[in-house]
Amino acid sequence: MDRAELRARLEAWLDSLDNKLERLLLLPPDFTRFNSGAGVIVQELYDLLSGSAELDIMPALGCHEPMAEAEIEAMFGTRIPKDCYIHRNWRTDVVKIGEVPAEFVREVSDGKLDFPIEVEIDRRLLDPKYDLIVSIGQVVPHEVVGMANYTKNVLVGCGGKGMIDKTHFLGAVSGMEKLMGRDHSPVRKVFDYAEEHFLKDLPIEYILTVTTTKADVTTIEGLFLGRSRKNFEAAVALSQEKNLDLLDEPLQKVVAYLEPDHFKSTWVGNKAIYRLRMAMADGGELLIIAPGVRHFGEDPVFDELIRKYGYRGTPYVLEMVRKNKDLRENLSAAAHLIHGSSEGRFRIVYAPGYLTRKEIEGVGFEYMELAEALERYHPDRLQDGFNKVNGEDVFFVSNPSLGLWALRERFERV
């Protein structure tokens, strides 16, 4: 979809809305979702509406770190005034609007969990000054919910600690290999419950994209506009077609590259593990070249917890949750520790730009010097997919956040 077609689709959609638009709140993803196409969508909406309506733009950070000014300009351009942007705090800027009952969580988790989930959203979404709230984002395989976006952008991207912690933990204990690349996961069922019971009266509309990226060029393959869940389901079907790479044989050696401007923590960079685990051979090796990675967590609390407990597998993490209050009070960190382990099935080697050997090995990964990794497997010399490097068969992934790689037999039998 080119820029002219995108603009025409957005203009026709705006014209179809019944209410007069005087003040809008846009909820795009942050810079870690640069390839979502949301940047150009925000620019087009600003051009279409700025003459007749006021716009506020609040990136749906979830628990990620705030966007830097350079990231805002790279993603959303320089024409939008800086005072249009709102920087939210997921720990303090939320209000509780309801609760998903414990019996529902027990049912969707097959009895693994038995707690209510607080439905908390950013207080600005309840501000009556907004005629329309537009949630913008990409539908793509995701390790927590199965397929990203739709109500996740509101309930997690603009949500609070209770929702973020407990849905991440629900996804982890449900088994991410059972839900990645699929709709109707346990976490998605929680989001659907919250939409039906607590969000339905808010003036929210969704702009969903499905994209592909090749040679740094992102193409919007599909654009889905409106509130209906059917739009999300159509986007899921297209993403399953465009963003899944199903393989007939397991991969023995994989090299994943994390672009330094987008991946600064293992919290985000471990997408290389999440998105490739279903393709890895038992006893295989996943090398993650991460020149921009300088810390583990996206905030100091999570960084400290990752350093303390490490990526040591589900049984260990669940035992630590039972024994330690700090993990029980930060279940999304516990979930992340589960997600970031290979469960002993394959080796994970990190080549970071800033973290030391002691730090990397301290959380349970193996370490390689960045210079050595780049000398052997420089991304400029590799193509996505299979390569031969000094007689070694290497499968290369230039951006693991763009899709899901899985052994066909493994994916289809779940």
pLDDT in tens, 181-226: 999 999 999 999 999 999 999 999 999 999 998 878 899 999 999 9
| Largest CA-CA distance found in the chain, in angstroms, rounded | 64
CATH 3.90.226.30 residue ranges of the chain are 246-413
Instruction: Supply the DSSP string of 231-292, one letter for each residue.
Output: HHHHHHHHHHHHSEEEESS-EEEEEEE--TTT--BHHHHTHHHHTTGGGEEEEEEEEEEETT
Q: What is the pLDDT of residue 413?
A: 67
What is the separation, in whole angstroms, between the first and last Cα of the chain? 33
Question: Whole-number mean pLDDT of the chain?
Answer: 95
Confidence label for 51 from pLDDT (cuts 50, 70 and 90): confident
pLDDT surpasses 90 at 90: no
b (16+ CB within 10 A) / e for 277-315:
bbbbeeebbbbbbbbbbebbbbbeebbebbeebbbbbee
pLDDT band at 410 (very low <50, low <70, confident <90, very high): confident
Residue 35 has pLDDT above 80, yes or no: yes
Nearest to 25 by CA among 111, 128, 120, 119: 128
Compute φ and ψ for 290, nearest 5 degrees. Answer: -135, 75
Pick the CATH number of 246-413 from 3.40.50.300, 3.90.226.30, 3.40.50.1220, 3.30.200.210: 3.90.226.30
d(CA 72, CA 261): 12
Q: Give the pLDDT confidence of 281-291 residue by residue, as tens digits.
A: 999 999 999 99
Question: Token pair for residue 236?
Answer: 């899921």
Asked if 135 contacts 121 with a C-beta cutoff of 8 angstroms, the reply is no
- pLDDT tens-place string over residues 107-146: 999 999 999 999 999 999 999 999 999 999 999 999 999 9
Contact 146, 180 (CB under 8 A): yes
Please answer whether residues 140 and 148 qualify as being in contact, where contact means their C-beta atoms are separated by less than 8 angstroms: yes
Beta bridge partners of 349: 287, 366
pLDDT tens-place string over residues 375-398: 999 999 999 999 999 999 999 999
CATH homologous superfamily for 3-242? Answer: LarA, N-terminal domain (3.40.50.11440)
CA distance 32 to 39: 12
For the segment 358-370, the average pLDDT, to the nearest whole number, is: 98
pLDDT at 31 over 90: no
Helix pair 300-309, 314-323: axis angle to 10 deg: 110
Where do you find CATH 3.40.50.11440 in the chain?
Answer: 3-242
